Structure 1
Amino acid sequence: MGDLSRSDSSWFDAETTTFGDRVTGAREAASLGQAELAKRLGVKIKTIRAWENDQAEPRANKLGKLAGILGVSMMWLLSGQGEGLDGPEAQEPLDEDLEKVLIDLRQMRQEQAQLAERMGRLEKRLRSVMTDA
């Protein structure tokens, strides 16, 4: 993390972005709105929003179709590696304070995703214990 004005292929890598960030970036690069993408995939718009907000991920069949529509590889959507989007063209450097805020926000998003994953595992364990009891 660091220079937000870079234009190399790591702009959308796993360390910099989430699955949802890559879906959003690819959808916007393809000039598609959420509603149009949902219609083309045969899903509800709330499903697209959940994917873009990292609240859910598509099943394999939808992932393949999503990658095809967006013109990126499934591997890139999942991991940031492979055929995907290049970063934006060189931009004006951001103010140092603004860059720090953006870095903090990204870190908080990653921590939130990790907490959500832990909560999911705990919920699964709780259900298992309740079922056994």
Structure 2
Amino acid sequence: MEQPLEQASFEKPDEVRKGDNWRMELVRLAGGAEVGRITLQPGWRWSENVRPVAGTDLCMAPHQQYQISGRIRVRMQDGSEFESGPGEITSIPPGHDAWVVGDEEVVAVDWQGASVWAKEQSE
């Protein structure tokens, strides 16, 4: 089956997830691709703002993303860390915490883990 020609926009997402200091717009494309735009406000930290929604100690979503603005620091379970900023592409495996550095909002486009990021766990 041939995939159709498609066009999508974060201005008309298929799903929106949001909480204190964060928002994610998710668009779904034919063939199963899901792409999210994640916006994080200064003061955001995964372990404080998303952990209650996700129900895990660390973020277990894998990420491959392009960062548009702001700076974010990521710490893996093993203690290794890095900081990324605008124009950078990152690949972050499951098992991490992350937080906004400074006073500029972080905006990133994620094409790997967006479908599960900040998704409420069913009981």
TM class by smaller structure: under 0.3
Per the normalisation by structure 2, the TM-score is 0.24
Per the normalisation by structure 1, the TM-score is 0.23
Higher Cα radius of gyration: 1
Structure 1 or 2: more helix by fraction: 1
Q: Which has the higher contact order (CA 8 A, sep 6+)?
A: 1
